[in-house]
Structure 1
C-alpha cells in the first residue's frame, strides 16, 4: 500500500490523524478521572486510549520505513505534535533520535513540540499528573536512581538526564542551528527550570526575554513607564505566558507571586485571563490550602506555601464576578465542595451544589444533542449524504459527551453524600446547627433527590434519619 504513495500523500494521511480531531475530545472527558473510576464506569482509562493512538502512529511509521519511504520535516512535526498532545514525553525521545539520524534539521515548531512533550510527560496519567508540585520530598523521590511510579515522568539530580539538562541541550542546539525561538519556546524553558525548583533561572528569563522584573513587581515598586515587548516581537506575551506563570509559580508553592504576575501581565498587555489559567490558579490554591499533619509533614516541609482555607473560596468569587465573569467547571466545583467541607462552610456547599446541578443539566442536554447528531450522521451516510469520517467524528463526540454526563452524575451523587456525612459536633449545638440538621439537610436531599438512592440513612444531632424517597426506577441514571 505504502509503496505507491507519494510523500505528499503520506503527509496528508498524518494530518488526518490529527490529535485534535481524534483524541482531544476524550481528554476533555477523562481529564480528572482516575483509572479506577474509569474502570468502575466501564471505560478505558485515558492513558490507555492515548497510548493506543500513539501505537497506531508508530505502526504507520514502521510500515512506511519498510516500504522505503522517508519521513519529511512536516511529517516529524505532525508526529511530535501528536506525542505532545498525548503528553508521552518518552515517546518523543525515540522520534527525535530518528529525526537526527535522518539528518533532518528541526524547525521552531519541532523544538517546541519536543520541549512541551518533555516538560509535560505524564500529564494524562492518573499516577503522575498530580506530582508536579515541588517539595523536598518530591525532589528526593525524583533524584533517586530507582523512582516510584508517581515520579517516573521526569528526573532531577545525578542519575541520567535531568529535565533541565535536556532543555539546556536543546536551546544550545537551536542557537547552533540558527533556529529562532519564540514565546512558546521560553515558556517551556521556564517550565523545565521550575521542575527542578530553579526559580532564579525563571526570573532571569522573565527579565531578559519578557522585560518583567519579578522582585520589583512583587514589592509594588512604582515604575512610571514599564518596558513593553514590541507587538512585532516573537516574544510578545499571550495567554501562553499567563498559563505558564500560573503553573510554574503555583507548583513551586508561591500562589501570591502567581496571582500578582498574572494580574500585572494581563493589565499591562490588555490580555483577558482565560479559564485555563484560572483553573491552574485555583488548582494550586486548592492544593496549598490542604493541611498536612505529623512528623513527616514537618520534616519534608509539606506545608510550605500553605494558605488559609478561605483563600480558595475568595479566589473563586473573584473569578466569577466582574470583570472576569467566568463560568466554573464541575472540576472546580469539586474543589470548592471539598475545601468548604474541610473549613466548615456548609451553607456555601448548598450554593455550590446548585451550581453543579446546572452543569450536570447542561451536560445531559449536550449528551442528548450529540446522540441525535450521531443518529442523523448515520442516516445521512446510509443515504450517501455524509462520509464515514463524519459518522466516526459524530460517534466520538457522542461517546465523550456520554462520559462527561456519567462522570457529572457520579459527582453529583458524591456531593449529596458529602452533605449527609457532616462530622459529629464537638460542641453544644447552636441554633444554626439545629436549623442545618432539621431544615437545610432535608431541603438539600429533596432538591437533589434524583441523585440519591431511594433509601438513605444519615446521622443528625438527635439521632439517625432514614428516608425512603421514591421507587428505584425514578433515580437519575
Structure 2
C-alpha cells in the first residue's frame, strides 16, 4: 500500500486512473470494471440512475451503479448511504414501544401499525422490492437484504399481503433465517462486540447508531421489519413456523425488549404449532426474557450487574438507612448515565435489570422446563444459570445446576478468614456428570458469578473446569474476567457493596493485576489484545502506579498504529470502489468497522492521558514525576492529549497550548428529562431531573455522513469524522465559547459508568 504522504501527493490520478488500475487494486474491483465495460453500455447507467432518483433517501440500495468514475455527486452517495444512519426524527417512547412489541391479539395488528406509520406516497414508483430482496438472499448479502426490506416496509398497507401471497412459503423462512440478529451482528453491525459507554457515545458522536437508551438502532429497525413480515404473512392466511419464532425472539432480545419477548412467547403458545415447541425455542425465550446474551445488552456489563439495592426484599433484607444511601447512590450515578439501560416504555426511570430482581419469574422458567418435558441441554442450563444469577440465587445454582447436571460441587460460597489469619479458599470437587462441561459453561459461570461480585469464585471455577476437563481458556473468558473485576473494583460499585455491608463482594485492589499475570504467564500464556491492555492500564492509573502503566501504554500503541494502517487500506479500497461505480457490502462493512475501531482506540488512549495528567495532582508539588516524567509523557503522547495540556507543578499549574494540534470543544446538545423514583418522608415520589447531554467537535469523532467529493482523500485518511469543515454561525460560536472552558476540566471517564 502507498504511504499517506505519497498517496496524497499523487492525487486522484494515481489512485483512480480511468484506464489502468493502480498497483494493488482488489481483483474483484478490476473484474467488475472489465465486466461493466464489456457488457453495460452507458445508457444503462443513465436509466438506472433515473430510476433511483425516484426512491426515498433512506431506501436506496447498495447494488446501484453510477454513470461515471470521475466525480461522485451527493445523489450518488445517498444511494449508497449507511444503513445504520437515522435521518428522520426520533420517535417518542410510546411510539417506539408500540412498534417493537406485538399486540396481545396477533402479529397482524402490530404489522399493520408499522406499515401504516411508514407508508410513503412515493411508494407507487418503487419497483417490486421482493425481487431485489430475493437476489440479495441468493447472494447472502445481509446489508442489501435489510435495505430492500426497508423498501417493503414503505409499501402501502394493502400491497404487502398481496405480494406475500405471490411468493413461496419457504422463501419467508429463508428471509427470517438470513435476518438472524447473530448474522446481522457479524455482517452489518460496524460496532461489533465493543462496549459503548456514555463517554464514548458523547465524544464520538454516535447518535446515528445508538439511541438514547444505549440500544443499537439497527436491531430496533430489524425487529420492526420482522414483525411487519410476520403480520403480512398472517394477513395472507398463513401461519408462522416454530423456527421463525426463534428468530423473532432473538430480534426482541437484540432490541433489549424482554416484554416483547414475553408477548412473542405467549403468541407461540396460542398457535396450533405449540405442541412442536422444543428445547431450543425455550432456550431462546429465556435468553431474550433475561437478556443472557451479551448482544442483548449491547455488550454492556454495567447493565447486567446485580446491585445490592435490587436484592433488597428479594434475596435479603437491608435496613432503611442502608436502603436510603443506596437510593442516593443510584440517583447520582443515573445522572451521569443519562437513559442508558432504562426501560423504554416506562414513564419513570427504571433499569432493565430491576424488572428481573424477583425470584418468581426465574422459578417459573424452571417449572415450565420440568412440566413440559423439554430436553435438557447445556445451552438451556447455561441460560437458566444466568437467569437465576440475575436475582442472586447463587446457592440454588451451585446445588441444583452445577452439582446435579455438571458434577461440580462448591463447598464454600465465599472467602472466609480463619482465626489464624489465613484465608480459606472455596473447595471445588468434581463428581459424575450428566453433561460434560465445555467453554459455554465457562462463559455462563463468569457471567453469573462475575455479575454478583463473586470474582474469586468465578476464577476458581473456570480454572477448575479447565484443568479437570482439559479445556483451554479462550481469550474471551479472560476478557470477561478482567472486565468484571475492574467493574466491581470501581468507585461506584465498591461503594454500593460497602453501604450494603457485603464486604466479601469487594475485590482486592490488585485483583486485575493478578488475573493479568495469570493470563500472560504459564500455563495459559495468552497474548493480550488492545481491549485487555485498556483494562489493565486503567486499573494501574486508577491506583496511581504510573511507572508500571507507561510500558504497557507503549506496548498498546502498536495496536493503534496497526489499526491506523488498516483504516488507510479500508479508505483507499472504499474510495476506489465508489469511483469505479461498484457497490460491495463487504468493502462498506470493512470501512465502517475500521473507522469505528480507530476512533474508539483514539478515545481510549485519550482517556489514559487524561487519567495520567489528572493523577499528577495527587502527588506532592515537589515530586520529580511532575518535573521530569510529565513533560516526556506529553511529548510522547502529544496527539492524544487535550489541547491545551494542563497539569500541576510545585509552583502552580502549567498549561501548554499547541497551535499545530486540534482543540476539541464540548458543545451542549440538549437536556435529557427523566423522573427518577426516590423515597421522601416514607413516600415514593418521582424526582424530575434534566441531565445535560454534550457533544464534542473533533476530527476523531464518528459524526457526519458527507460525500467523498466534499471531503476529499486527505480528509478521509487523516480523520474519522465525515462532517465537512464549515464556518460556525454566531450562535454556534457563542455556544463553543461558553463550553470551551468546561471542556478543559470535563472528564468522560468510563469509571463513572461502572455501576
Same fold (TM over 0.5): yes
Considering fraction of residues, name the structure with more strand. Answer: 2
Q: In structure 2, what is the equivalent of residue 49 of structure 1?
A: 218
CA shift for structure 1 position 304: 4.4
CA shift for structure 1 position 206: 0.5
Residue 616 of structure 2 is aligned to residue 445 of structure 1: no
Q: Deviations over 1:262-300 (max 9, x none)?
A: 100011111111222212211221123235699986442
Match of 2:646, SS state, is strand
CA shift for structure 1 position 333: 3.4
Matches within 5 A, 1:128-147: 129-140=301-312
CA shift for structure 1 position 36: 6.0
Choose the corresponding residue for 1:285, options 482, 485, 506: 485
Q: Deviations over 1:400-427 (max 9, x none)?
A: 3212211211221221122222243465
- Cα distance change, pair 323–198 in 1 and its aligned pair in 2 (3 A): same
Aligned length: 454
CA shift for structure 1 position 155: 2.7
CA shift for structure 1 position 325: 3.0
Q: In structure 2, what is the equivalent of residue 315 of structure 1?
A: 515
CA shift for structure 1 position 448: 1.6
Choose the corresponding residue for 1:461, options 650, 667, 692: 650
CA shift for structure 1 position 306: 1.1
The separation in 1 between residues aligned to 2:519 and 2:197, in whole angstroms, is 27
The separation in 2 between residues aligned to 1:178 and 1:152, in whole angstroms, is 30
Q: In structure 1, what is the equivalent of residue 391 of structure 2?
A: 196
The separation in 2 between residues aligned to 1:446 and 1:80, in whole angstroms, is 52
Match of 1:213, SS state, is strand
Matched-pair contact (CA < 8 Å) for 2:409–2:428:
no
Q: CA RMSD in A?
A: 3.5
Residue 258 of structure 2 is aligned to residue 89 of structure 1: yes
CA shift for structure 1 position 444: 2.0
Q: In structure 2, what is the equivalent of residue 385 of structure 1?
A: none
- Cα distance change, pair 369–106 in 1 and its aligned pair in 2 (3 A): farther
Residue 229 of structure 2 is aligned to residue 33 of structure 1: no
TM-score between both structures, scaled by the size of structure 2: 0.54
The separation in 2 between residues aligned to 1:456 and 1:427, in whole angstroms, is 19
The separation in 2 between residues aligned to 1:461 and 1:175, in whole angstroms, is 70
- Cα distance change, pair 367–83 in 1 and its aligned pair in 2 (3 A): farther
The separation in 1 between residues aligned to 2:494 and 2:445, in whole angstroms, is 32
Unaligned runs of 5+ in 1: 383-387
Matched-pair contact (CA < 8 Å) for 1:337–1:415:
yes
- Cα distance change, pair 128–470 in 1 and its aligned pair in 2 (3 A): closer
Q: In structure 2, what is the equivalent of residue 213 of structure 1?
A: 409
Q: Deviations over 1:184-232 (max 9, x none)?
A: 1111111122211111111111000000111179857696xx4354xxx
Match of 1:307, SS state, is coil
TM-score between both structures, scaled by the size of structure 1: 0.83
Match of 2:302, SS state, is coil
Matched-pair contact (CA < 8 Å) for 2:644–2:656:
yes
- Cα distance change, pair 352–141 in 1 and its aligned pair in 2 (3 A): farther
Q: In structure 2, what is the equivalent of residue 69 of structure 1?
A: 238
- Cα distance change, pair 127–30 in 1 and its aligned pair in 2 (3 A): closer
Matched-pair contact (CA < 8 Å) for 2:407–2:431:
yes
Q: Deviations over 1:295-328 (max 9, x none)?
A: 9864423654212212212211222233333344
Matched-pair contact (CA < 8 Å) for 1:89–1:120:
yes
Considering fraction of residues, name the structure with more helix. Answer: 1
Matches within 5 A, 1:380-395: 382=582, 391-395=584-588
